[in-house]
């Protein structure tokens, strides 16, 4: 069985190195003296093979079970074998027991070296005794004494040295382990702080819908995350956001007042590139960038990391970090900033959606208020005046009856009152129709528009003609049909009240050669007006007719055009995409709507 460690076994590497030294030295000594024999070659090959196997295990930080005693035993057996094969105590390798002594000293320190020395001495003495038959001759005993003395003295010396050496190695090894554990502890602390930073970031960015709070939190969290790894004191950071005039500085850190009002057009340089490609980029030549070189704070910076704040088709701006160190933006730091930039983009998208919802809510409030005012005006100008006239005529009729009026006079007055009451009823029905045209829900857009044209003539003697393609209407869902009805009704009422036109034309068609885009037109031959002048003075007007048209057109994801001039009539036309691909082409300007309509 084999066990593995995370760290290398230093004792094994020392033993392997010394074993190679001993095997090579023994080979050279024997080759220079008497020459190598087959038993010696076999033992040499066995030692070399074992050392190769030990090297393979050491390379992979592995050890056998009972690894230390096995090493000592094998080295002991090889030492004895080579001792006997070379001529015993009288041969050139009388010192070969050093191989086993070194192994014992390395693995068991002084106990091992002395134990191996005693075992070697006993075994070598026993071999001498067996060979001589127990006869002790001084001349033959001197080599044995030399060998035994070498074993014991070397064993004691190696034991003392190995105790100090292995102790120092073990101490150094423990110190390395302590340093590694400390490094791991600090790395874990940094990772926990980084995770906490990300948690705070998600909580902060997800918990606010304020645009400026998101921008400030983006930089604060980025700097907090970077400060866990390095000194960021000279770091310059800023968030650029789009306004009508271009990219402006939404918030910044380390930026002088002279840079606060700088406007960047993002038409060239790294800003234009990252916004077009939607990918971050490291910049090392800031002074050569045609736009960023305008920022004084970047003059001393030698590297910058630019991140686009882009999500889908929406571009919110960019984040920029710059530092004097050209190697500051490592892959890890760039990855960290990219993650933060992604979260900031989502937060900005949520903030914008919330802002749009707030604006939409305000528009709904204004639209509802305008509807109430319109209803009040219509009631005041229509049914209220008619009912007042009926009451006045009834009062006149009562006085005539009291004064003895003839039957003919009374009958004539009753006829006028009846006609006025019928007209008032029609006006009220028309108002109810415009508030909620039930025929639109039951029969669709074209019948509802036909009824509207008939009521315009019946009530106001206003001629309204309708030209609607049924195939276009079939492509419109009920919600779109409702919005289109109110757009047409608003445009027709505006023309009736202000244009003094003899005829109003309503047309619904496909754009030529475009079966995915519908076209709605309301045109009159009235006196016309200047659209720019009307829009400029809208805050002083009581009506929101053009605003209603524009907002309802936006609900259809369409485009509104108003073509008019004094004395030339008015043409209101709306282009409505019927599919998502058509909407994209329309808003990207790939369709010439005004000319083709």
What local confidence, expressed as pLDDT, does residue 571 receive? 93
Lowest mean per-residue pLDDT among 40-54, 402-416, 511-525: 402-416
- Examine the pLDDT at 229 and tell me if it is beyond 70: no
- Examine the pLDDT at 519 and tell me if it is beyond 80: yes
- Examine the pLDDT at 508 and tell me if it is beyond 90: yes
Say which residue, 390 or 319, is predicted with more confidence: 319
What local confidence, expressed as pLDDT, does residue 522 receive? 94
Question: What are the helix (H) ranges across 382-516?
Answer: 383-402, 407-435, 438-442, 445-460, 470-474, 478-494
551 neighbors 487 (Cβ within 8 angstroms): no
Q: How far is residue 49's CA from residue 341's CA, in Å, rounded to a whole number?
A: 59
- Examine the pLDDT at 134 and tell me if it is beyond 70: no
Burial class (CB within 10 angstroms; exposed 0-12, middle 13-18, buried 19+) of 592? exposed
pLDDT digits (tens, 9 = 90+) for 230-281: 566 788 888 888 887 788 888 888 888 888 888 888 888 888 888 888 889 9
3-state secondary structure 309-353: EEECCEEEEEEEEEECCCCCCCHHHHHHHHHHHHHHHHHHHHHHH
What local confidence, expressed as pLDDT, does residue 410 receive? 76
**Kind of pairing between the strands at 464-468 and 504-511:** parallel
- Examine the pLDDT at 429 and tell me if it is beyond 80: no
Q: How long a stretch of residues is the chain? A: 597
What local confidence, expressed as pLDDT, does residue 597 receive? 46
Q: Could you give the angle at which helices 38-59 and 10-33 cross, rounded to 10 degrees?
A: 160
What local confidence, expressed as pLDDT, does residue 470 receive? 92
pLDDT digits (tens, 9 = 90+) for 48-72: 888 898 888 888 888 888 888 888 8
What local confidence, expressed as pLDDT, does residue 574 receive? 92
What local confidence, expressed as pLDDT, does residue 330 receive? 87
Mean pLDDT, rounded, for 509-513? 87
What local confidence, expressed as pLDDT, does residue 595 receive? 43
Mean pLDDT, rounded, for 523-540? 77
Give the pLDDT band (50/70/90) at residue 370: low
Say which residue, 218 or 103, is predicted with more confidence: 103
Say which residue, 312 or 110, is predicted with more confidence: 110
Percent of the chain at pLDDT > 70 equals 85
Highest mean pLDDT among 193-197, 320-324, 377-381: 320-324
Q: How far is residue 224's CA from residue 204's CA, in Å, rounded to a whole number?
A: 13
**DSSP helix, strand, coil percent of the chain (3-state; round to 5):** 65, 15, 20
What local confidence, expressed as pLDDT, does residue 596 receive? 42
Q: How far is residue 396's CA from residue 394's CA, in Å, rounded to a whole number?
A: 5
CA-CA distances (angstroms) from residue 281 to 300, 301, 303, 352? 19, 16, 11, 26
pLDDT digits (tens, 9 = 90+) for 74-115: 988 988 888 888 777 777 887 888 888 888 888 888 888 888
Give the pLDDT band (50/70/90) at residue 589: low
What local confidence, expressed as pLDDT, does residue 521 receive? 94
What domains are defined for the chain? 2-179 (no CATH), 212-349 (3.30.450.40), 438-597 (3.30.565.10)
What local confidence, expressed as pLDDT, does residue 5 receive? 59
What local confidence, expressed as pLDDT, does residue 466 receive? 93
- Examine the pLDDT at 334 and tell me if it is beyond 80: yes
Q: How far is residue 455's CA from residue 461's CA, in Å, rounded to a whole number?
A: 9
- Examine the pLDDT at 340 and tell me if it is beyond 70: yes
Q: How far is residue 257's CA from residue 234's CA, in Å, rounded to a whole number?
A: 17
Please tell me what DSSP assigns to residue 497.
Answer: I
Report the chain's mean pLDDT, rounded to a whole number: 80
- Examine the pLDDT at 204 and tell me if it is beyond 70: no
């Amino acid at each position: 069985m084999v066990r593995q460690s995370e760290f290398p076994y230093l004792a094994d590497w020392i033993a392997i190195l010394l074993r190679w030294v001993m095997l090579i030295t023994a080979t050279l000594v024997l080759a220079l003296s008497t020459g190598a024999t087959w038993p010696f070659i076999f033992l040499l090959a066995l030692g070399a093979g074992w050392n190769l196997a030990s090297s393979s295990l050491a390379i992979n930080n592995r050890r056998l079970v009972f690894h230390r005693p096995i090493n000592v035993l094998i080295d002991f057996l090889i030492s004895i074998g080579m001792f006997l094969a070379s001529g015993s105590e009288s041969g050139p390798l009388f010192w070969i027991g050093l191989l086993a002594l070194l192994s014992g000293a390395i693995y068991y320190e002084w106990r091992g070296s002395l134990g191996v020395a005693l075992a070697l001495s006993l075994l070598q003495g026993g071999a001498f005794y067996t060979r001589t038959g127990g006869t002790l001759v001084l001349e033959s005993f001197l080599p044995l004494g030399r060998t035994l003395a070498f074993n014991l003295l070397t064993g004691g010396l190696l034991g003392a040295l190995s105790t100090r050496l292995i102790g120092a190695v073990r101490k150094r090894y423990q110190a390395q382990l302590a340093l590694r554990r400390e490094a791991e502890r600090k790395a874990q602390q940094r990772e926990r702080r980084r995770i906490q930073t990300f948690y705070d970031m998600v909580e902060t960015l997800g918990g606010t819908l304020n645009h400026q709070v998101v921008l400030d939190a983006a930089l604060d969290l980025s700097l907090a995350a970077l400060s866990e790894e390095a000194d960021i004191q000279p770091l310059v950071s800023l968030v650029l956001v789009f306004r009508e005039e271009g990219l402006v500085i939404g918030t910044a850190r380390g930026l002088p007042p002279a840079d606060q009002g700088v406007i960047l057009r993002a038409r060239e340089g790294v800003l234009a590139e990252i916004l077009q490609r939607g990918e971050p980029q490291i910049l090392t030549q800031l002074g050569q960038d045609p736009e960023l070189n305008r920022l004084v704070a970047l003059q001393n910076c030698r590297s910058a990391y630019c991140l686009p704040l882009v999500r889908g088709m929406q571009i919110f701006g960019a984040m920029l970090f710059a530092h004097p160190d050209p190697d500051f933006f490592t892959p890890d730091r760039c990855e960290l900033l990219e993650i933060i930039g992604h979260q900031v983009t989502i937060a900005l998208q949520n903030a914008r959606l919330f802002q749009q919802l707030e604006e939409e809510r305000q528009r709904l409030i204004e639209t509802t208020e305008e509807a109430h005012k319109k209803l009040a005006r219509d009631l005041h100008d229509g049914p209220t005046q008619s009912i007042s006239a009926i009451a006045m005529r009834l009062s006149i009729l009562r006085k005539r009856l009291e004064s003895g009026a003839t039957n003919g006079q009374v009958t004539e007055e009753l006829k006028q009152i009846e006609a006025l009451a019928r007209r008032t009823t029609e006006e009220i029905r028309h108002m109810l129709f415009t508030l909620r045209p039930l025929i639109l829900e039951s029969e669709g857009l074209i019948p509802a528009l036909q009824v509207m044209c008939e009521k315009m003539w019946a009530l106001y003697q206003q001629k309204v003609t309708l030209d609607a393609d049924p195939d276009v209407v079939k492509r419109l869902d009920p919600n779109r049909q409702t919005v289109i009805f109110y757009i047409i009704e608003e445009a027709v009422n505006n023309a009736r009240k202000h244009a003094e036109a003899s005829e109003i034309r309503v047309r619904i068609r496909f754009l030529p050669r475009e079966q995915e885009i519908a076209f709605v037109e309301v045109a009159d031959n009235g006196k016309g007006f200047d659209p720019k002048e009307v829009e400029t003075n809208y805050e002083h007007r009581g009506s929101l007719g053009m605003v209603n048209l524009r907002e309802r057109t936006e609900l259809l994801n369409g485009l509104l055009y108003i073509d008019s001039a004094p004395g030339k009539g008015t043409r209101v036309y709306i282009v409505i995409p019927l599919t998502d691909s058509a909407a994209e082409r329309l808003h990207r300007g790939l369709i010439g709507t005004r000319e083709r309509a």
